[in-house]
Amino acid sequence: MTTTKRLGPEPKATEDEVLIVAECFGAEVPTFQGEGPSCGHPALFIRLSRCNLTCTKCDTKYTWDWCRFDQRKESTKRSVAGLVAWAASSPVELVVITGGEPLIQQARLVPLALGLLAAGKRVEFETNGTIAPTPQLVADGVRFNVSPKLASFGVKETKSIVPAALEAFVASGRATFKFVASTVHDLDRIAELADAHRLAPVWVMPEGTTPEVITATTRVLADGVAARHWHFTTRLHVLAFADTRGR
Ligand SMILES: Nc1nc2[nH]cc(C(=O)O)c2c(=O)[nH]1
Ligand code: SF4
Ligand SMILES: [Mg+2]
């Protein structure tokens, strides 16, 4: 086989091959997947900009709240090829694609996910569960951590709970449902939603951006989660790295 040396710069990516990215991390300064079924696994992160919800308790408002943050400073266009090359240059196997809400850019995520899989990675999406995944995105090696937002998270459930999208995630066979909770009352609401939409497996994660709040909330929630035979996850990056941006 002959190889052709490319002369000059990389060809410019077309709009179809470009994603709006808030930040990529985990390669230069290593970290773990801090949440959910892969908690504790070494991971790379691609955080996409933009969200279709406006939760008051959101901890990544720099992906969508342009009253507080400068959109031009907080987002960059990155080519799919460049993102795959970035991930491929690291030995870390798991790539977490988060946001914001990553599935807003779903069409362009298909080549990204397929490129990452071809490079030997596995892929987890952190999604709010309001946008159904297309069949092309539901590939072997891809998982969805679906995090439907409760009213107590500061969003109207008429916006955050989209039954058809939740049903599509259930049907994918590749989703876990990871609810952020602060109180035992939140657990009752999670049970109602899980029953109504047949969501399984259910994971509960304590809300909080400090180790103190996470520990206190873990103690509030643990008995109720255990009694329902649900799964529990902490937020390891908050405990380990004090919720530093880029960890
Ligand atoms: N270490 C680490 N793990 C994470 N898992 C989900 C994250 C997110 O922001 O979606 C996240 C994050 O921001 N950092
Ligand atoms: S869905 Fe997630 S990223 Fe979007 S506003 Fe709510 S917490 Fe923030
Ligand atoms: Mg986070």
Domain with 94 in it: what CATH number? 3.20.20.70
Cβ atoms of 138 and 172 within 8 Å: the answer is yes
Cβ atoms of 239 and 31 within 8 Å: the answer is no
Q: Output the pTM of the full model.
A: 0.94
Beta bridge partners of 179: 204
Asked if residue 231 is part of any domain, the answer here is yes
Rounded CA separation 142/147 (Å): 16
Asked if residue 3 is part of any domain, the answer here is no
Residue among 74, 103, 104, 149 to mutate when testing ligand 2 (max atoms within 8 A of CB): 149
Cβ atoms of 121 and 87 within 8 Å: the answer is yes
The range of the structural domain enclosing residue 158 comes to 15-54+61-241
Asked if residue 176 is part of any domain, the answer here is yes
- Cα 87 to averaged position of ligand 3 atoms, centre (Å): 19
Tens digits of residue pLDDT in 2-61: 444 445 555 567 767 899 999 999 999 999 999 999 999 999 999 999 999 999 999 999
What ligand has the least distance to the C-alpha of 180? 2
ipTM: 0.98
Beta bridge partners of 78: 19
Asked if residue 8 is part of any domain, the answer here is no
How many domains is the chain built from?
1
Ligand 2 near 54 CB (within 6 A): yes
